[in-house]
Amino acid sequence: MKKTAWVAFRKTLDRYRSSIDTTGAAVPDLGGIIQQLISNREGPSYTVKTPVVYNLALNDISPESEIKMILAGDNPGRREQEDCRYLVGPSGKIAEKFFLNNPELGINFRKNVLLLNKTPIHTPRTGELKDLCKLGGRQLENAVLSSQQHMAELLNEFWKAFSGKIKRPEGRRAALKQPVIPVWIIGYSEMRKGGIFETYTKTLKSLCGTDPEFKNSLFFFRHFSMNQFAIDIKRQARPGEGLAESLRRIGAAYRERILGHD
């Protein structure tokens, strides 16, 4: 990657790491509260290793890496908090297989995709973030909402780094001659008003309001879990339309549903 992009990526990575630390410090007993949630729920019990998950895969990115896409999931599940890496559970395996089975997209899921989440706070299932906030009270709820704002802002910063949108000190954009990379937002049902990720949506809308190019780079899709993503793409495909074209059309339509028209 270009040197300017690498420097911008490293600076954003430092801010991401700081955000993870801030979220953890906001609720010192977060691990205990999540453990209580696990004990109260139906389903297998396990010991929480990492309440707030920093994606170690970002440390593997080097100046030689070629990032072609950013993908944002929901929040870290059981496998993610164990491995400290995003999308390594069942949904991640489905995503990896999708790109492997569609080489025409030219994307290696583990090498060319920068993975983020809407919040780094772990729960066994995304819907249980609401239950977690009830257990932890206002302090934990504020930490969850604040983390969503930070993650949306960081997504925008990472996008700028890899799309040549870095500003020079004097305010002019650096001429990096890089293609603008797409951003896939996976899972949009809880991004509606009143949903778990409403704050994430509001932050994205604010960022898009000042940068239409960023908005046009966002594509929304259904979850990879239970093959929802692949089933939806197949259902909406049009005769004679290539996969890449279908993805752009479908992802853009969901974007307008969530973010609204200009």
- Each residue's pLDDT tens digit in the chain (262 positions)? 889 999 999 999 999 999 999 999 999 999 999 999 999 998 889 999 999 999 999 999 999 999 999 999 999 999 999 999 999 999 999 999 999 999 999 999 999 999 999 999 999 999 999 999 999 999 999 999 999 999 999 999 999 999 988 665 555 554 445 689 999 999 999 999 999 999 999 999 999 999 999 999 999 999 999 999 999 999 999 999 999 999 999 999 999 999 986 5
Q: Is 125 exposed, middle or buried (0-12, 13-18, 19+ CB in 10 A)?
A: middle
Vertex 148 angle, CA 142 and 152, to 5°:
150
Tell if the pTM clears 0.75, that is, is over it. Answer: yes
Contact 144, 133 (CB under 8 A): yes
